[in-house]
Amino acid sequence: MSRLYIRPTAFVDAPFGFDGQVLRLAGGLGWFAAVEAIRVADGRRVEQRLVPIDRLDLLGEDALAIVERLTAPRPPLRLGARTIPLDQPRVMAILNVTPDSFSDGGSHVDDPAGAAEAGIRMLEAGAALLDVGGESTRPGAATVWEGDEIERVIPVIERLAVGGAAVSIDTRKAAVMEAALDAGAALVNDVSALGWDDRAADVLAARNCPVVLMHQRAKPEGSTDVLIEVYDWLEARIAWAEERGIDRSRIIVDPGLGAGSFGKNVRDNLALINGLALLHGLGCPILLGASRKTFIGAISGEAPVEQRLGGSIATALAGAAQGAQLLRVHDAFDTVQAIRIWRALRDEALSPV
């Protein structure tokens, strides 16, 4: 038996003059005039074809539910006193308080006031929320005891929350989630998709806050159809979370770009970015975290971390063009500027002539 997957494509600048020929992607600023219909059987693509929007009936009844999820507006994030609409891409700025993160480890160790000030500057640059992390996910990084992780992140979160900032906690540990939410964080970003700590799902079920479920695997798998693999894995993880009392409306999905801990080679990462719009079929907001990743350096002549800004912005814009609602980045000012230009182009296309 085969299964149908639908990837929006043939994007247009505006819907004017195309009644019945375009659909709006996830309630955002993108419209698509066709879909790539992919049928998979026994783990292999057995059919791929382009289907115009006005001929979706050719795909049969099983397409209707997918199209509904593709087009349904995503509800805004309600993060404490802050509400963040998801009708356009928003920047989630990374604020690490670790000694060994691959990109900016050590910048704010033992300096919560300095870390909070850095976070405020990113918010002033236009970031919508801050993702605070106290444990590195770089390849080979040691697991941090939850007490140490709490000691690193809580003073920073408290300072930011008092100032009204929207804060996410980047952690795999239930105890850290609880402490961070009590301190004022309002979103949990778990790179293990609640799979590392047996208590994490219970914590999230009891708290009325959004959670990011990220795909990861042990190592790159070569010939695997990574786009379909990630879709299926995230779909199963969403169902798992729902069974444990976490409503789908609170779930954000992340395809987990990157090598090392996330198990993607260069081709995997590029395939996921190219096919990102397929993941809207899950019916959840999409977070894209490509900032300064190893694959950007590999494509750029092994450029070091500090020389990956251009590639990071390029991937952020590629994500925005395919409807990603959250862009997790290190370089808030530059990414926000790029997204503002992208948004200005969309606004011009949507302005009456």
Which residues belong to the active site? 293, 328
Tokens of 175: 């105890």
The residue length of the chain stands at 353
Instruction: Report the distance separating Cα 131 and Cα 193, nearest Å.
Output: 16
- CA 158 to mean position of chain CA atoms: 24
Q: What residue type is 180 in one-letter code?
A: A
The answer to whether 33 and 55 are in contact (CB under 8 A) is no
From CA 25, how far away is CA 72, in angstroms rounded?
8
**Contact between residue 165 and residue 120 where contact means Cβ atoms under 8 Å apart:** yes
39 CB contacts (<8 Å, ≥6 apart)?
2, 3, 4, 5, 45, 46, 47, 48
User: Residue written as tokens 């804060």?
Assistant: 167
| Cα 203 versus chain centre, distance | 21
Count other C-beta atoms under 10 Å from residue 60's C-beta.
10
Structure tokens at 232: 């299926």
| DSSP letter for each residue of 124-140 | HTT-SEEEEESS--STT
Nearest to 316 by CA among 279, 280, 298, 343: 343
The closest of 127, 116, 118, 3 to 59, measured between CA atoms, is 3
Q: Which run of H or E residues covers position 288? A: strand 287-288
H helices within the chain, ranges in order? 62-71, 112-124, 146-162, 174-183, 200-206, 226-243, 266-274, 294-299, 309-321, 332-350
